[in-house]
Amino acid sequence: MAKNKFNKNWIHDHVNDPFVKQAQKEGYRARAVYKLKEIDEAEKLIKPGQIIVDLGCTPGSWSQYVRNKLAGQAGGGINGTIIGLDILPMEPIADVHFIQGDFREDSVLAQLEELVIGRKVDLVLSDMAPNLSGVAVADAARVEHIIDLALDFALAHLKPSGALLVKCFNGTGYNEILEKFRHEFKTVVSKKPKASRDKSSEIFLLGKTLKNPA
């Protein structure tokens, strides 16, 4: 019964959510787009000519936003390169190169290397989150593991002036993740966009400019 009530409450909140309505109106696939939009507008992350990798990109709202920011070329197309990676399939987005697979696997990384042609990446985005169990210690370990993967990926592929934006959760293990970012990046800021639900402990960490570029 409690679960039913929870589902009804969630559906009610979701249907009446202004960000959900705005996403539907503007043609975005998820309300999560407004989290990236707010952070980008504050931090000026996305610029023409960049190579941007969107980890865990499905359903694709972040890639849609990036594509819109890089659009405006005469005759269509975009000024830049967008690569989305996800284990799950994604409906195509114009001008976005999508690779389905696990980015820890050599075959997936080989496809990425083909697309970047030896160039380093300007920005790595990760809205990835694990399935949470409700057990704080176990969930903290899962979140940290996913962020470690994104961080390792960024350290291997970012240019020295590059940036990494990841979804995190403010709770157990957060300070350890923050320390890892401070160890690798010259500038580290945390962001709680307005589109993050009030009840959620979700927070975004942004690291800019590598301390020890490869």
Q: What is the pLDDT of residues 114-128, one digit of tens each?
A: 999 889 999 999 999
- In angstroms, the CA 63 to CA 67 distance is 6
Q: How far apart are CA 12 and CA 177, in angstroms?
A: 34
pLDDT at 14: 60
Q: What is the pLDDT of residue 162?
A: 98
The predicted structure's pLDDT at residue 74: 60
19 occurs within a structural domain: no
The per-residue pLDDT of the chain, averaged, comes to 90
136 or 53, higher pLDDT: 53
- Domain membership of residue 22 (yes or no) is no
- Token pair 């197309």 is at which residue? 77
Measured at the CA of 207, the angle between CA 203 and CA 210, to 5 degrees, comes to 165
Give me the pLDDT at residue 196, please. 86
In whole angstroms, give the CA distance from residue 92 to residue 115. 17
Is residue 17 in some structural domain?
no
Is 148 part of a structural domain of the chain?
yes
Residue 195 has pLDDT above 80, yes or no: yes
List the binding residues for S-adenosyl-L-methionine. 60, 62, 86, 102, 127
Choose, from 47, 167, 194, 208, the residue flagged as catalytic: 167
Beta strands in the chain (DSSP E): 51-55, 81-86, 96-100, 121-126, 158-169, 185-191, 202-210
Which CATH number belongs to the domain containing residue 93 in this structure? 3.40.50.150
Confirm whether 132 is domain-assigned. Answer: yes
Identify whether 3 is part of a domain: no
Query: What is the model's pLDDT at position 201?
Result: 87
Query: Which residues are part of a known binding site?
Result: 60, 62, 86, 102, 127
CB count within 10 Å of CB 173 equals 20
Fill in the DSSP letter of residue 205. Answer: E
What pLDDT shows up at residue 45? 97
Instruction: Give the pLDDT of residue 135.
Output: 86
The whole-number pLDDT of residue 1 equals 47
Beta strands 81-86; 51-55: pairing state: parallel
2 has a pLDDT exceeding 60: no
Asked if the structure places residue 104 within a domain, the reply is yes
Counted domains in the chain: 1
- For residue 186, pLDDT beyond 90: yes
For residue 81, give both structure tokens.
């390169």
User: Mind listing the pLDDT tens digit for each residue in 138-166?
Assistant: 888 999 999 999 999 999 999 999 999 99
**For this structure, is 120 an active site residue?**
no
Domain of 125 in residue numbering reads as 32-210
Tokens of 150: 């994104």
- Residue 72 belongs to a domain: yes
Residue 69 has pLDDT above 60, yes or no: yes
Model's pTM, two decimal places? 0.90
User: pLDDT tens-digit profile of 4-59?
Assistant: 655 666 555 666 788 899 998 998 999 999 999 999 999 999 999 999 999 999 99
